[in-house]
């Protein structure tokens, strides 16, 4: 694990060379936080065996870029092809189990006075880990809707990818590039980011908007921004604390450090 505190100080050098040690300032901020927001991306599910969005895909789909399949244009050109890709991903998501990162986030929700999970993930693993105070910004791969007529009856033949009401194609209920995010989810996420004390950005490349703008809104409104990600992102040099490593390892260690600091305070 490497820590970048955004300052080129002796302290930041020291912390970056201490495995799983956290600055006191960070632990104190977390102990005192009244409202925490955690934004997650595909990286948090990587340790559950699911490919991230910008990782190379495996097997059958290795020749295709996800960015080129997750669009309305791709679906219009070849609905069956895109439906098959989503069916494969759905199956992988159902076979996968939530990992330590998902579980710590579900636990944070129970312990923080106010907490909101904002996820870009469509795999449903946060819900299966027990998260309830959550908005799914990019939808959910396990739900469907009618592509051709947006039929509201939800009378769907999922196996054959057809809407029974109009005979149209079924698409996953996710947000593709160029599509609007669900307004209520985005409003809730934005309001929470603008009023939180601590904003976590976990397992996301921080390049897809409007989700990639939430940390900036939080910071502009005075929140401490903490990034946990395997690789550097555009947020890394600007975050208050940035941990480069696996969320399934860093999150449990961080929560253990906060837990023991809280215990000391009460004794
Ligand atoms: C680990 C790890 C481990 C690995 N531990 N970490 C403003 C500026 C510029 C462009 C735009 C803008 N506003 C809108 C746009 C356009 C566009 C956009 O952002 N484009 C950018 C690429 C430039 N945005 C949109 O189109 C959005 N709509 C919109 O804004 O509507 C209004 C509008 C309409 C029309 C015109 C203009 C505006 C919609 C975005 C929808 C995104 N949809 C997808 C697909 C969802 C369905 C599906 O899954 O199939 O969402 S794309 C894909 O990217 C998916 C993800 O949720 C999203 C983010 O990816 P994420 O989660 O960050 O994954 P990765 O793979 O990128 O990164 C994983 C990270 O994990 C890596 O960094 C690893 O290092 C790390 N990692 N293992 C910790 N163990």
pLDDT tens, position by position, 25-71: 999 999 999 999 999 999 999 999 999 988 776 666 777 888 888 99
pLDDT number for residue 154: 86
**Quick check: is 180 in a domain?**
no
State whether 13 and 68 are in the same domain.
no
Q: Which residues are tagged catalytic?
A: 138
Q: Is the Cβ atom of 120 under 6 angstroms away from ligand 1?
A: yes
Q: Which of 41, 173, 181, 251, when mutated, tests ligand 1's pocket best, judged by the most ligand atoms within 8 Å of its CB?
A: 41
Looking at 53-57, 147-151, 254-258, which range is the least confident one? 53-57
> Residue 219's pLDDT band (boundaries 50, 70, 90)?
very high
Q: Is the Cβ atom of 235 under 6 angstroms away from ligand 1?
A: no
Q: Which atom of ligand 1 is nearest to the CA of 228?
A: 79
State whether 189 and 240 are in the same domain.
yes
pTM score, whole prediction: 0.93
Q: Is the Cβ atom of 172 under 6 angstroms away from ligand 1?
A: no
Ligand 1 centre to CA of 208 (Å) is 3
Q: 55 is in which domain, residue-wise?
A: 51-95+143-174
State whether 106 and 122 are in the same domain.
yes
9 has pLDDT over 50? no
State whether 237 and 108 are in the same domain.
yes
- The total of other beta-carbon atoms located within 10 Å of residue 244's CB is 18
Q: Is the Cβ atom of 75 under 6 angstroms away from ligand 1?
A: no
Q: Is the Cβ atom of 231 under 6 angstroms away from ligand 1?
A: yes
232 has pLDDT over 60? yes
> Residue 12's pLDDT band (boundaries 50, 70, 90)?
very low
Q: Which of 42, 171, 236, when mutated, tests ligand 1's pocket best, judged by the most ligand atoms within 8 Å of its CB?
A: 42
In this structure, what CATH number is given to the domain that contains residue 72? Answer: 3.30.1600.10
Q: Is the Cβ atom of 89 under 6 angstroms away from ligand 1?
A: no
Query: Three-class SS string for the chain?
Result: CEEECCCCCHHHHHHHCCCCCCCHHHHHHHHHCCEEEEEECHHHHHHHCCCCCCCCCCHHHCCCCHHHHCCHHHHHHCHHHHHHHHHHHHHHHHHCCCCHHHHHHHHHHHHCCEEEEEECCCCCHHHHHCCCCEEECCEEEEEEEECCCCCCCCCEECCCCEECCCCCEEEEEECCCCCCCCHHHHHHHHHHHHHCCEEEEECCCCCCCCHHHHHHHHHHCCCEEEEEECCCCCCCCCCCEEEECCHHHHHHHHHHHHHHHHHHHHC
In this structure, what CATH number is given to the domain that contains residue 9? Answer: 3.40.50.1220
Q: Is the Cβ atom of 205 under 6 angstroms away from ligand 1?
A: yes
**Quick check: is 256 in a domain?**
yes
Q: Residue of the nearest CA to atom 53 in ligand 1?
A: 53
State whether 2 and 46 are in the same domain.
yes
CA distance 123 to 19: 31
Q: Which atom of ligand 1 is nearest to the CA of 120?
A: 57
Q: Residue of the nearest CA to atom 35 in ligand 1?
A: 178
Q: Residue of the nearest CA to atom 23 in ligand 1?
A: 208
Q: Domain total for the chain? A: 2
């Amino acid at each position: 694990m490497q820590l970048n505190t955004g300052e080129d100080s002796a302290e930041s050098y020291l912390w970056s060379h201490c495995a799983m040690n956290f600055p006191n300032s960070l632990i104190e901020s977390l102990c005192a936080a009244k409202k925490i927001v955690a934004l997650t991306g595909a990286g948090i599910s990587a340790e559950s065996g699911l490919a991230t969005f910008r990782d190379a895909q495996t097997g059958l789909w290795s020749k295709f870029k996800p960015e080129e399949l997750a669009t309305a244009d791709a679906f219009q050109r070849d609905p069956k092809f895109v439906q098959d890709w989503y069916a494969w991903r759905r199956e992988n998501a159902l076979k996968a189990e939530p990992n330590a990162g998902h579980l710590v986030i579900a636990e944070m929700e129970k312990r923080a006075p106010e907490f909101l999970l904002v996820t870009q993930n469509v795999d449903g693993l946060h819900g299966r880990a027990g998260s309830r105070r959550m908005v799914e910004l990019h939808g959910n791969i396990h739900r469907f809707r009618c592509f051709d007529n947006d039929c509201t009856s939800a009378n769907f033949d999922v196996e054959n990818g057809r809407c029974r009401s109009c005979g149209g194609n079924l698409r996953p209920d996710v947000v593709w590039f160029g599509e609007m995010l669900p307004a209520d989810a985005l409003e809730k996420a934005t309001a929470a980011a603008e009023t939180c004390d601590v904003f976590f950005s976990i397992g996301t490349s921080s390049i897809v908007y409007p989700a990639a703008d939430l940390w900036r809104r939080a910071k502009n409104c005075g929140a401490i921004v903490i990034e946990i990600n395997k690789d550097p992102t555009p947020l890394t040099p600007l975050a208050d604390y940035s941990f480069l490593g696996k969320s399934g390892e860093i999150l449990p260690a961080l929560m253990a450090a906060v837990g023991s600091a809280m215990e000391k305070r009460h004794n």
